[in-house]
Structure 1
Amino acid sequence: MEGAGPSRPHRARVEWEVDVALADTLTAVGTVALARCGGRPFGTHLFSVWPGASFAATAFPVRCAPGDNLALHVAVAQAPPGSALVVDVSGESEYGYVDEILAVAARARGLGGIVLDGCVRDVAAIARCGLPVFGTGVAVREARPEAGGSVGDQVTMTAVGPVPLAVRRGDWIAADDDGVVCLPRGQVSAIITETMDSITREQEIIDAVCAGESTLDLLGLDPSRVSGWEGGPDGRTRRAGARPRSLGSLREAPGRGGAGDQGRSRLSPRPAVGDSYRD
């Protein structure tokens, strides 16, 4: 989708009861790491309306009648500030369910963002508004606010894989340029703990790669399974089933990705996380 918006993640106003620390942590680690460690990804058909949009917030489910967005207007008025609307459009995606008026109203109420299994319109205006909105595309056709729907009840969204994704009120939603992920209630703390460990391991691998190590060695991969493999740059071959290299030894070895090495990754440091979160 075209359009340009603010590069800073949208954060709901802090004067309301919002777990800002948790939202900031989920936004910082990103959807890729969360999906790898237990977060449930939404379908790959969802895109951010403007590049760089991101948010993390608790879900407020909405179900719209086909081609109708009355339930969205009700949800914007009723959803707790700091939450995000997760919208099931009942399979009729080719309407512009979210427009400039709804986006501005949601931003004014301090909502964290909107994710919908349908299209939006007024893309440039939504980008200027700065509300993170994720949908399936753009549709000029207007949704009518007449037919009803529901708010606050569980909705079913299209997900990666054959099983639809059930989203309940209070589940955590994280969204960025890589996609949208749901963290079910009661599993948030465990997912965050595993995610932080995964990020640490990934950073160690990146540091080792920057120091000249091969991903084949670091990950214990068997290149002989690939036709045309002729060995590494030095002509060496790798035996099948070899174990991954120890990253701990790489951290301690001089000149191999230590803190002072020029080859060290310049990715952002691991974000600080509290001891626990209340799911």
Structure 2
Amino acid sequence: MTKIITVEGLKKSYGKVQAVNGIDFYVEKGTLFAFLGPNGAGKSTTVDMISTQIKPDAGRVLVDGYELGREDGAIRAEIGIVFQDSVLDALLTVRENLLLRGSLYGMEKDALRDAVASAAFAADVTGFWNRPYGKLSGGQRRRADIARALVNTPQILFLDEPTTGLDPQTRRKIWNTVHMLQKERGMTIFLTTHYMEEAAQADYITIMDHGSILAKGTPAELKENYTRDMLRITPKKDEKLSALLGKEEIAFQKSGGDFIIQLRHTADAIGIIDKCREEIAGLEVRRGTMDDVFLNITGAKVRN
């Protein structure tokens, strides 16, 4: 696939703090790309540089063929950004906010009207676009934020923790909108999130910490490389199961009265269960998750 973002040797320091330390990665056109890391990892600084908001100290960035630092105006025309904190006017209606945003691109009256209507329809805000932004619910505000970012018909949509603080049902509505944009418009989605179940939907994931890239891959590849499935057995009698597992040379740990066995492959649980069937009171097979990946790579839990 075509690379729509290419980052090479990107660096940024603040005094003695190396926020971004010579990172390299790329994003393929039309994909959902998740960019993860603990607070202070350098994610926001990286996104701010790619989107022309701050100037890098070193490195080269291409966005849809345009070079950062030389063609920043062209890059801004290619991207839309949904910030974690809204930039819309609370007193203006959604429609007025979108018209104001579109006017910044120098659109003619008819083109501006069409662009605003298209953005409003795509983000599903037409049902409340005559209401003041400040009177909207959290989910409605977030959809209005997405509409604002779509007014210039961007090729790339940056989503900075777009569903933080929203309830599960509202988060699902937001993601329905995002998936529609990716599928129907071929839009590239660049996501930062603290919700690992959202990251698990991505086509490709890059994880960074302390200003450096630590891991890259699809969700399946990262789970394969950085997690293990687990078999949890509740024994009928502790001593008998312990002796049986020892005889079969099956390594285990004990936690809360249960026996925890790390699996190389999920199917390995079948053979272990067969050997221990008479001593099992209960069991659970748990597959590795993106939370496990994140913890094993960064050594830190996901923090909001």
Q: What TM-score do you get using the length of structure 1 for normalisation?
A: 0.29
Higher radius of gyration, 1 or 2:
2
Higher helix fraction (1 or 2): 2
Higher strand fraction (1 or 2): 2
Q: What TM-score do you get using the length of structure 2 for normalisation?
A: 0.27
